[in-house]
Amino acid sequence: MPLRSSIHREILNPSPSAPRLVTVHGAMDRGNSFRALAQQLSGVEVVIWDRAGYAHSLDATPFDVEDQLADLAAIVDEKPAVVLGHSLGGTYGLWLASLGHPHVLGVSTFESPLPGGAWWGEGWGIDPLDAANGRVGSERAGALAEEFLRRMTSDAVWDRLPARTKELRRAEGVAFLRELGQLVTGRIAFDLGSIAVDVVAGVSSRPSHHHQLGLARLTEAVGATSYCVIDSRHGVHLTRPKALAEIITQQLQRVG
């Protein structure tokens, strides 16, 4: 099926003969965050897009995890590609690969959560089932989205944002809580052993305990090529795009 019209997508470095990289952003992120990476991959066609519920696709509904997966599948249907997923985006890439999608040439993840409940914010005071089923009000969801972004960036970065940008980021909290709740309550479920394509999995120089465990599971289950980007944090595609581009280039050469 074609990609639904409510999903915002761009193709950077377009070329019919170039290898293709499909990026998938994580929770509370947007496709534009991969633009610096695309600049480091001048010979690669790079697809960036805003997943349903985020940025220019803020009003795209539904945005359950199955719909997010279907949107990714629709983009990959267009041309064989390596799928690069950051954080939760990598989870969708692995999920699609586990289903044997014929156009997925490889999957690259960075600190991506695997299915399970360890990723839920214990201090949020919300039942993940309520989040998964959309029973969290938009005001509360917006407050948690702000809390998450403050933790991922800093209070100073958040405080510098224009008022309109803050409003839009809080509005993304509805999709954020829903998909994270669905992740931890089992709506995302797949067999790592069924992934037959090339997998690359990375972590930052200060990975969390859960990210380290996820990397170990991927290495053991699918023989993933693992790596660590020195002097990086979770947002590696924003702060170390050149280092990430080198990893992607190596994978594209392997699967090409």
pLDDT at 147: 94
- Specify the DSSP element, H or E, that contains 238: helix 236-239
Question: What is d(CA 24, CA 50) in angstroms, rounded to the nearest whole number?
Answer: 8
Which of 26, 19, 22 has the alpha carbon at shortest distance from 10? 22
pLDDT at 116: 76
Residue 120 has pLDDT above 90, yes or no: no
CB 222 within 8 A of CB 192: yes
pLDDT at 117: 67
pLDDT at 135: 96
For 21-41, what is each residue's pLDDT tens digit? 999 999 999 999 999 999 999
Mean pLDDT estimate for the chain: 95
Q: Domain extents for the chain?
A: 9-114+190-255, 122-180
pLDDT at 64: 97
CATH of domain 9-114+190-255: 3.40.50.1820
pTM value is 0.97
Amino acid at 137: G
Residue 153's SS3 state is: coil
